[in-house]
Chain A
C-alpha cells in the first residue's frame, strides 16, 4: 500500500480484556517497529522486527504485551488483561532497509487504546 495502515483507529477495552492491534506496513519494507505514546509524551519504543524475526523486544513493558510478524509483513501487537495504564496511542512504523539511518521511517496514524 501507499502508507502504513493501522487498525482499528480507536479501541475501547474494559479492564482485563485482551486486545489485538494490527499493522500493515508498506509492501516490501523489511523493518517494522511498534511505539507507545502516552498522552502528552513522545513515543516510546516497544519492539522491532526485521522481516519475521523479532530482534528487539526490550521496550515491552510487561509479559502481557506480545508482538508477532509471522510472515514478515503484517504485524499484530497483543495486550492481555489490559489495565488502565495501557491507555495510549500505539504507533507502527516501517522502513525499507534494516538499518534506518539513511532512509528514515514511515509511521502509521496509530491506534488509540482507551482502557476503562
Chain B
C-alpha cells in the first residue's frame, strides 16, 4: 500500500527566505507526482505536476524535483512571501490506478 510522508509538518519562516518542503513515498511505481496548495476553507490548487519520467518542473518561484527510484520529491520556494502561507500537499498517482495518495501536508507560515 502506497504511503506518502511530508516533512516538516509545519514551518514558519521570515519573508524572503528560500525554503524546501520534503515528500517521500514508499512505492516507486508511480505515474506522476503533484504538489497542491490548500488555503483555509478552500479546495486544492494544483501547483506542479511531474511525470515519472521527468526530474523536475518549474513555475515562477516554485521548483519541484522528483527522484522516483529513491521515492522522494522536494518543493523549493524561492524568496518566500506572506501570500505563500498555506498548506502544501504532495500526492502520487500510482501506475495502475486513478486515485491520488496524499501526504498529510506541510503548514507553511511566512511572516512579514
> Which B residues, 75 to 112, have Cβ-Cβ distances below 8 Å to chain A?
89, 91, 93, 97-105
Which residues on the B side are within 8 Å of A100 (C-beta)?
93, 98
* A1 CB–B CB distance under 8 Å: no
Q: Is the interface of B mostly helix, strand, loop or mixed?
A: strand
A40 and B104 contact, Cβ closer than 8 Å, known pairs A56-B97, A91-B43, A104-B49: yes
Shortest CB-to-CB span from A22 to chain B, Å, is 15
Instruction: Report yes or no: A44 in contact with B32, Cβ–Cβ below 8 A.
Output: no
> Which A residues, 78 to 99, have Cβ-Cβ distances below 8 Å to chain B?
91, 93, 98-99
* A108 CB–B CB distance under 8 Å: yes
Inter-chain CA distance A106–B101, complex, in Å, is 16
Instruction: Report yes or no: B46 in contact with A45, Cβ–Cβ below 8 A.
Output: no
Instruction: Report yes or no: B43 in contact with A45, Cβ–Cβ below 8 A.
Output: no
Inter-chain CA distance A109–B38, complex, in Å, is 10
Inter-chain CA distance A43–B38, complex, in Å, is 11
- A: contact size bracket: 20 to 34
Instruction: Report yes or no: B98 in contact with A48, Cβ–Cβ below 8 A.
Output: yes
Instruction: Report yes or no: B93 in contact with A91, Cβ–Cβ below 8 A.
Output: no
Inter-chain CA distance A106–B41, complex, in Å, is 16
Shortest CB-to-CB span from B95 to chain A, Å, is 10
Contact sample, A vs B, 16 pairs, CB 8 Å cutoff: A33-B99, A33-B100, A35-B100, A40-B104, A42-B4, A42-B89, A42-B104, A44-B102, A45-B99, A45-B100, A48-B98, A100-B93, A101-B32, A104-B49, A105-B44, A110-B42
